[in-house]
Amino acid sequence: MSECRLTLLDTGYCVHPEHVVLRNRRLKPMRFPAMFAVIEHPERGPILFDTGYAQPYLDAASSTWTGRIYNAVTPVTSSPPEFAAAKCRAMGVDPADVSLVIASHFHADHVAGLCDFPRAEIMFLESAWKRVAGLKGLRALRQGFLPSLIPSDFQERACPIEGEAWSALGSEFGPFQRGVDLLGDGSLVAVALPGHAAGQLGLFVRRRDQPDAFLVADACWTARSFKEGIMPSRITRLLFDDMDAYRFSLGLIGAFHKLHPDVEVIPSHCGETHRRLVLGEALP
């Protein structure tokens, strides 16, 4: 069974009132880092989980009406030195050597950097792409999707995960019952985490010399959410694909954490997780 090295990085952040995420009626602004992961696989080389913000997002936010609305709803702070390609170069990874990008879902803060990794295959759940493919204007915006972020050669590089790829998982993944062994060696196992976005996936990463990690994307926005079962504000119903599915996915993550407390559960936008794993701060 192959084991990987995982490095968590960020591409900037957006801002929301705390109440939107934790339903506590506090309007204090919170920063939500846009994190992505570099997974160094012993055979496949560097692999990314999501790409965060990048220049195509900034271009859309300044030049299209849908991008301007998107950025008004989720004000973003990001710049070229923070983009995934620049962060990869800083750690000695050439973006041209990235063999695979695993897209958790197609919201702008997760796929804006796809164009910066031109040789990478792009892997995603088929249902995620079906929900947004062909959408434009307001219909795309309501799905958190900006079509201009998708590379022109997307279809040539796309590797959709289809229904026949799913299989039963062992008890080490419980309560998750079915998943996809993406590389066939047990190192990267995808599971479905619908709700926030249609076809959103989470990724279990078998790590070398460290406990395994579970990248849960936007199935929750903070670690408190899955540890305490805290739902976001009802206003997020306007942004989410399916609130009932979100509640179910959050419950699965919380149950998994209780069964497997040694596995590092990593939401893509958790400030506490960012401070601890990216900035290296010692938190109480």
Listed by start position, the domains of the chain span 5-277
- Give residue-wise pLDDT tens across range 249-260: 999 999 999 999
What is the DSSP secondary-structure string of 152-219? TTHHHHEEEE-GGG-EE--GGGTT--EEEESSSSSSEEEEE--SSSTT-EEEEE-BSSS--EEEEETS
Burial tier of 19 (Cβ tally within 10 Å: 0-12, 13-18, 19+): middle
**pTM summary value:** 0.95
- Give residue-wise pLDDT tens across range 113-138: 999 999 999 999 999 999 999 999 99
**Spatial separation of the C-alpha atoms in residues 123 and 159, rounded to whole Å:** 5
- Please say if the pLDDT value at position 24 is more than 60: no
CA neighbor of 188 nearest in space, from 47, 62, 61: 47
- Give residue-wise pLDDT tens across range 35-88: 999 999 999 999 999 999 999 999 999 999 999 999 988 899 999 999 999 999
pLDDT averaged over every residue in the chain: 92
Give, as one character, the DSSP assignment of residue 98: -
Total Cβ atoms within 10 A of residue 99: 15
pLDDT on residue 239: 74
**Spatial separation of the C-alpha atoms in residues 218 and 155, rounded to whole Å:** 25
Is the CATH code 3.60.20.10 the one for domain 5-277?
no
